[in-house]
Amino acid sequence: MCGTQIIWRLSILTITLVAVGCDTPDRLSRLEKQGLELQTKVSKDQAAIDYDLQAQCSKDAKTWFNENWGRDKDTQLLDETNHFNKAQSKCFVVVECHYSRPPAPSWNNNISMWDVNENVKYADFSESHYIDFRNEVVTCACNGKSCKTLEEFSGLISTYTSN
């Protein structure tokens, strides 16, 4: 009798293990599918958050720009571009201003980059353009690093304005 009970219990245990084990590939497949679906949802949620942060940055930058900059009779160009830097969680605005200066048609090009929320200047570029077609870089710096050309300046600020 004992031997029969042991065989009987082993048979039931074997059948149970086989039944449970048969579902393992399907279970893994379902878990993998659920994992991919979850990853997709997280990616979509992150994209929505990034979009909201960029939209808020754009709104804040326009408000900051309007409060801090204005045109006068010598202004030829006054424009801003903004960028939310995800890695630093900062909103930057780049302001470009061209204005005439004597003798005409001489003019200056000033570009500055600011942290909108802290109202801190990170970069400054100033170049004078003279009537005799000479150009002179007066100021060129970004966050403590100096530069000599507009191209170098653009490269320095791009570390803040691109992700």
Residue 24 lies in a domain: no
What range does the domain containing 156 cover? 54-161
Residue 19 lies in a domain: no
CA distance 78 to 65: 10
Per-residue model confidence as pLDDT tens digits over 86-142 = 999 999 999 999 998 888 888 999 999 999 999 999 999 999 999 888 889 999 999
Residue 31 lies in a domain: no
CA distance 163 to 158: 9
Residue 14 lies in a domain: no
pTM of the model: 0.71
Residue 29 lies in a domain: no
Residue 116 lies in a domain: yes
Question: How many domains does one find in the chain?
Answer: 1
CA distance 54 to 12: 62
Beta-sheet strand order (sheet of 107-115): 75-85, 90-100, 107-115, 120-129, 135-142, 145-146
pLDDT at 39 over 70: yes
Whether residue 116 contacts residue 93, with contact meaning beta carbons closer than 8 Å, is answered with yes
Residue 12 lies in a domain: no
Closest to 128 measured CA to CA, from 102, 153, 155: 102
Residue 24 vs residue 59, higher pLDDT: 59
Residue 118 lies in a domain: yes
pLDDT (0 to 100) of residue 52: 87
